[in-house]
Structure 1
Amino acid sequence: MWGRILSLGVAGGARLCRRSLFTMRLKSSEFQSLFTEGLKGLTELFEQNQYELRIAGGAVRDLLSAKRPEDVDFATTATPEEMKAMFQSAGIRMINNKGETHGTITARLHNENFEVTTLRVDVQTDGRHAEVEFTTDWQKDAERRDLTINSMFLGLDGTLYDYFNGYEDLQKRKVRFVGSAEQRIQEDYLRILRYFRFYGKVALQPDDHDPETLTAIRDNGRGLAAISGERVWVELKKIMVGNHTAHLLELIYDLELSQYIGLPPGGDVDEMKRVWHNAKDHAPKPMTILAALLQSKEEVEKMDVRLKVSREEKTLAQFLVRYKRDLCKNEEEPESLKPFTDFITDSRELDSKSKVCELLKYQGEHKLLSALGRWSIPNFPVSGHDLRRMGITSGKEIGSTLQKLRDVWKKSHYHMDKEELLSYIKP
């Protein structure tokens, strides 16, 4: 079923006073697969109490793209207090009450959690947070969302409710803000990075932006400085592993946003583009791509201060910055893993192999990457206890002897066993 229903909107600001509500009926297998016993029970409960319940946001976008969403969020006309009373009356457990002030109640039915949020309108925003009021108007809730493709609702009968041409934009693979791009950005400056993230998720072409959108982003980019590093890094990581990453990072520099989000002002964009091309088909970690922009230990530190990356991510950045030029294949034996396996066995760190794999992605050494994936770190067969049994008791001598034997073992490509190695020790 297809149709357009004319819907009255709210006059004022950038909001359109009349919108054409687009509806259609979805009956896909991905949609039908959502109906577990828990969701059936939730649907029946809201119907019995005469509250509307619809799927909201990203899950709708995924379903319209023939994908089964990993997470499903729900929106409702019921207030948090009404939901609590309804769930309590039905003997349904509620968990995680942290979202209640924002209108979200999480109910547990048939061992599943369902996050349901009351429809809202923004009363006041400061570029980071919003004060909200509850509403029963679906269009008003859709108006406060960031992108048209994220502003749709899906009824539990399969009816799509689309107030801002989100379905059409999704079909055309266009990423647009709801209404005025400038107004949406000023409500929450993180939406700049969300725009780039969804562009990498949805758009077919690397440079198909609306000019007015890029102008609004450039004019409001400084607002990103007030967004916490943790929130910025969450979005940046998703940009790094999406489509068009090289184009989007270059655009971030062209729009003069790098200074506000922890990227080095003199980032080597050409190197980043080369690395992304090398690594994109081999599941690189986000930091592997970002490290191409970093040129020194000091830049890694500055990046970490702003973005608050994890310890694992920081040490990977330090490793890549230090070794991306110094640890590379032997040109005389280009198919040999030895430089890399020697490094791994010498480092004796649990994650050394993982780091070297990211280095090979960075360098574009795909054959060596595949070979290293099949290689297991061997155990050095000699211990200090073995040397003490041979009469070597000095700790310093034990250490130097073990290192000499380790060098011999590496030259044998890790094939020599304990007896062969100990035979090198003079009685």
Structure 2
Amino acid sequence: MTADVDHILGQADWLRTDGIQAVFAAIEQEGDQARVVGGAVRNTLLGHPVPDVDIATTAPPETVMQRARAAGLKPVGTGLDHGTVTVLSGGFPYEVTTLREDVETFGRQARVVFGRDWTRDAERRDFTLNALYVDRFGHLHDPLGGLEDCLARRVRFIGAPDRRIQEDYLRILRFFRIYAAYGQGDMDAEGLGACLRQRDGLRHLSAERIGHEMRRLLRAPLAGPALRMMNDCGLWEIATGGLARIEDYSALRGLEPFALEVTDPELGLVVLGGFVREDLERICDRFRLSNAERSRMRTAWAALKRLRQAKDLPDAPALVYEFGRQGAIDGLLAFWAGLRGQRRAEDGPQEALLSRLRQVPVPEFPLKGADLIATGHKPGPALGDLLKQLEAKWRESGFSMNKDALIRLADA
């Protein structure tokens, strides 16, 4: 099996580039070694895309900087205190981190020293499937026996799970997120028990760190089962301060054949936590979401509310005009998920409306205040009121009235 694994890794596109080989050549001098570690190795073995490549090395960060610069590469000291240098090579950034050992642990304030022992470096990482290294030739180095877990898609903490979590309580959320992204079968019972025992540690994490990890979890293929287990363990309430619509969210992910938007965190959070508008605002504040993320969630919620209150599904042009194309689609998907979650969905009408929402042009009100002023109407509040009345008539007409018809109506 090792030969097969070495062949897969040796043929990986990211390992065969001139850029990464130049980084290896620059660092590996005077007995120092460098190996790719973690996500790139794991993802390659599991057939997932590799978005970035991290490199571990025995060379100290200052030496990495000097050697990279001497080789004509561009080093940036992005995290020198933690031993990390970003090396730009071939137009791609590589995070190069010196091997480390934890000497004393105080949560995230662990005192770290640089080292040369690959096993000690592996022991301070989170999960066995992330403690895999590959050298420049594609040879796997597996100091903790994580290959078997990786190929079995089994997410296990390295060493004692409670201790790993106490080093950084974000690892509770990472346990669920990594499972949601790569896991298979039942979650590791020992790790799950540790997450349950240590769950109050989540209260000490910053909103930004929790929000970042939760958004990544919501994009993962097994987010539904992972969130269900989080909710059963009381972790969702600690992370968000509220309850979760797990059945609705599971139904939302079931709509993926119809719409890839169901993996978007903003929509997922609306479905999970959107009991009332105040719930959304709490989640937005708690996760420190961006203005763009907040805006999308608020629009989706407004469209969802509109659909819940309607006796029949509205026409597509009316929805896209009121909420925009994205907002209308988000609202429909959230509404559809709610119906499915309550076991009373007939997919036909929702699927037909979704298709129309993707294709229908967004109506544009053809009349402006200047058009009315040109026909003798005076500027002022009365003109604004008249425009609103005419817009309402235009919408009632199914957006069919043109500018001339609206002017005639204004002058009548």
Quickly name the TM-score band, shorter chain normalised. Answer: 0.7 to 0.9
Bigger Cα displacement from structure 2, 210-219 vs 304-313:
304-313
Deviations 1:136-159 (A, max 9, x none): 111111111111111100111111
Looking at structure 2, the residues matched to 24 and 282 of structure 1 have their Cα atoms a distance apart, in angstroms, of 32
- Aligned counterpart for 1:376 among listed residues 316, 340, 361: 361
Amino acid at match of 2:316: L
Are the aligned partners of 1:185 and 1:220 in contact in 2 as well (CA < 8 Å)?
yes
Amino acid at match of 1:337: A
Equivalent residue for 2:45? 64
Are the aligned partners of 1:26 and 1:160 in contact in 2 as well (CA < 8 Å)?
no
Amino acid at match of 2:239: I
Amino acid at match of 1:380: F
Looking at structure 2, the residues matched to 87 and 245 of structure 1 have their Cα atoms a distance apart, in angstroms, of 40
Bigger Cα displacement from structure 2, 116-125 vs 401-410:
401-410
Matched, 1:179 2:159: yes
**Per-residue deviation, 1:309:** 1.4
Are the aligned partners of 1:60 and 1:153 in contact in 2 as well (CA < 8 Å)?
yes
Are the aligned partners of 2:302 and 2:331 in contact in 1 as well (CA < 8 Å)?
no
Change (3 A) 1:47 1:302: closer
Are the aligned partners of 1:360 and 1:366 in contact in 2 as well (CA < 8 Å)?
no
Are the aligned partners of 1:73 and 1:114 in contact in 2 as well (CA < 8 Å)?
yes
**Per-residue deviation, 1:396:** 2.7
Equivalent residue for 1:2? 2
Matched, 1:308 2:288: yes
Change (3 A) 1:222 1:53: same
**Per-residue deviation, 1:231:** 0.8
- Aligned counterpart for 1:234 among listed residues 206, 209, 212: 212
Aligned partner of residue 324 in structure 1, secondary structure = helix
Change (3 A) 1:232 1:30: farther
**Per-residue deviation, 1:330:** 5.7
Change (3 A) 1:27 1:342: closer
Equivalent residue for 1:418? 403
Amino acid at match of 1:70: P
Equivalent residue for 1:191? 171
Equivalent residue for 2:129? 149
Amino acid at match of 1:363: F
**Per-residue deviation, 1:225:** 0.8
Equivalent residue for 1:347? none
Deviations 1:1-49 (A, max 9, x none): 738xxxxxxxxxxxxxxxxxxx952345751453322222222223444
Deviations 1:109-138 (A, max 9, x none): 344333211011112333334321111111
Equivalent residue for 1:211? 189
Amino acid at match of 1:402: L
Change (3 A) 1:328 1:172: same
**Per-residue deviation, 1:180:** 1.6
Looking at structure 1, the residues matched to 211 and 302 of structure 2 have their Cα atoms a distance apart, in angstroms, of 22
Are the aligned partners of 1:125 and 1:188 in contact in 2 as well (CA < 8 Å)?
no
Aligned partner of residue 97 in structure 2, secondary structure = strand
Aligned partner of residue 78 in structure 2, secondary structure = helix
Matched, 1:53 2:34: yes
Equivalent residue for 2:57? 76
Change (3 A) 1:49 1:106: farther
Deviations 1:144-176 (A, max 9, x none): 111111110011111111123322112212111
Are the aligned partners of 2:303 and 2:328 in contact in 1 as well (CA < 8 Å)?
no
Matched, 1:269 2:254: no
Bigger Cα displacement from structure 2, 320-329 vs 164-173:
320-329
Bigger Cα displacement from structure 2, 214-223 vs 34-43:
34-43
Alignment of structure 1 residues 301-380 onto 2, 5 Å:
301-328=281-308, 334=313, 336-344=315-323, 352-364=324-336, 365-380=350-365
Bigger Cα displacement from structure 2, 230-239 vs 157-166:
157-166
Unaligned runs of 5+ in 1: 4-22, 345-351
**Per-residue deviation, 1:88:** 4.1
Looking at structure 1, the residues matched to 130 and 367 of structure 2 have their Cα atoms a distance apart, in angstroms, of 60
Are the aligned partners of 1:218 and 1:255 in contact in 2 as well (CA < 8 Å)?
yes
Looking at structure 2, the residues matched to 125 and 259 of structure 1 have their Cα atoms a distance apart, in angstroms, of 28
Bigger Cα displacement from structure 2, 174-183 vs 137-146:
174-183
TM-score after normalising by structure 1: 0.85
Aligned partner of residue 326 in structure 1, secondary structure = helix
Amino acid at match of 1:340: L
- Aligned counterpart for 2:225 among listed residues 244, 247, 265: 247
Equivalent residue for 1:390? 375
Equivalent residue for 2:88? 108
Are the aligned partners of 2:60 and 2:98 in contact in 1 as well (CA < 8 Å)?
yes
Are the aligned partners of 2:10 and 2:138 in contact in 1 as well (CA < 8 Å)?
no
Looking at structure 2, the residues matched to 116 and 85 of structure 1 have their Cα atoms a distance apart, in angstroms, of 13
Looking at structure 2, the residues matched to 248 and 108 of structure 1 have their Cα atoms a distance apart, in angstroms, of 36
Looking at structure 2, the residues matched to 418 and 384 of structure 1 have their Cα atoms a distance apart, in angstroms, of 12
Aligned partner of residue 15 in structure 2, secondary structure = coil
Deviations 1:205-239 (A, max 9, x none): 4xx01222211110001111111111111111111
Looking at structure 2, the residues matched to 112 and 313 of structure 1 have their Cα atoms a distance apart, in angstroms, of 28
Bigger Cα displacement from structure 2, 277-286 vs 169-178:
277-286
Are the aligned partners of 2:128 and 2:158 in contact in 1 as well (CA < 8 Å)?
yes
Are the aligned partners of 1:52 and 1:78 in contact in 2 as well (CA < 8 Å)?
yes
Identity %: 31
Looking at structure 1, the residues matched to 132 and 143 of structure 2 have their Cα atoms a distance apart, in angstroms, of 7
Aligned partner of residue 242 in structure 1, secondary structure = coil
- Aligned counterpart for 1:164 among listed residues 144, 161, 175: 144
